Structure 1
Amino acid sequence: MKAIRFLSISLLIIVVYFGMQPEPAKAQQTKRVILAGYKHSPSVATSGSGLITVSAKGDTLWVNGEFSDLTSTYTGAYIMIGKEGEYGNMLFRLTVDLNDERTGGVLKKKANTYTLSEAQKPLLKNGELFINIISADHRKGELRGQIPAIK
């Protein structure tokens, strides 16, 4: 009888111990995104380029980086919905600190932090988001970079 009681208590302790363990925290994932004109379809002839870092943890998305040498004046920067080679709708407008010529700028993490809805999370997970930098001469975008899948 003592053996059964000992086993029962041991089993109860094991169940309680493992049942109370916190769920493992999801680590922040970071991906680099190269911005270039050739990534548009059709490609855009430009001297411009950029490098953006996109990070995500839970439902929070951060964007920071820079771009330069647009062929004309900057008019907007966005995270947009679309697979590689597809053009889609705007999801978030990015905040950019422009250079004096307005042909380049810096995106700071603090100003470009977004909360993803449950409907938006699968877009990031499946690599269906891209960054689009728009200029006066290229209204559909001069620089583009597909955000790799972030699980």
Structure 2
Amino acid sequence: MNTQISMKKVVLPVLVTVLSFGLLTGCGNSDTDKSNGEDMSMTGDQTMTQQRMSEGDTEAAMNEPQTFEATLQGSNEVPEVNTDATGDAMVTLNGDSIHVQGQFSGLSSVYTASHIHEGAKGENGGPILTLKPELGNDKMSGMFDGSYQLDDTQIKALKEGSLYINVHSENHKPGEIRGQLTATDDGM
């Protein structure tokens, strides 16, 4: 029992002194530990800031205009169409809208319609947008210059290369010339 009391008298003051000294000095070199603590705090803040910036960059990248192009030819139709008609289109995605510019000419008969269809290269798909080109006097050529809204599913399909432009004529009702919309190098 005397041993326990004398241990308490010796150990307890030593323990209190060590703990007090540790608390007063920051448990070691106060400059090193304090700066490490600040670095850790700053690193946490910096990480949060970098994460916010990264999310902002991702949002900004998603909101930057992206460009897609299509070369319209009869050989792209499914099944292939033998025609001298040609065309091209450039589609700029900005947010949830697209701006379509381009032209076509040389249809074998009078223009009947043009659409953006959903479908992979080599596959036919249903129309999702009706395009409204300004037709030439011959009614077998035209120019695209219009804006259209897309929903999230259509935007995803565009980015995945699953949309195409199809120009229909009287002789080729399913489509005379077609072009798959693909991202340009500067558009992604």
For residue 140 of structure 1, give the secondary structure of its aligned residue in structure 2. coil
Letter in 2 for 1:63: V
In structure 1, C-alpha distance between the alignment counterparts of 2:142 and 2:65, rounded to whole Å: 25
Matches within 5 A, 1:67-78: 67-78=104-115
The equivalent of 1:62 in structure 2 is 99
Matches within 5 A, 1:16-95: 17-21=49-53, 23-24=56-57, 25-26=60-61, 27-95=64-132
Q: RMSD of the alignment, in Å?
A: 2.2
Identify which of structures 1 and 2 has the higher relative contact order when contacts are C-alpha pairs closer than 8 Å and 6+ apart.
1
Task: With the length of structure 2 as denominator, give the TM-score of the two structures.
Answer: 0.69
8 Å CA contact retained: 2:117, 2:125: yes
Q: 1:55 to 1:11 in 2, by over 3 A?
A: same
How many residues matched? Answer: 148
Structure 1 unpaired stretches of 5+: none
Moved over 4 A (4+): none
Answer with 1 or 2: which has the greater Rg: 2
Identity of aligned residues (%): 30
**C-alpha deviations, 1:15-56, integer Å up to 9, x for none?**
453354361111322132110111112211211100111222
Task: With the length of structure 1 as denominator, give the TM-score of the two structures.
Answer: 0.85
- Structure with the bigger percentage of helix: 2
Which of 33, 42, 58 pairs up with 1:10?
A: 42
Structure 2 unpaired stretches of 5+: 1-25
In structure 2, C-alpha distance between the alignment counterparts of 1:81 and 1:7, rounded to whole Å: 52
Which of 94, 102, 110 pairs up with 2:139?
A: 102
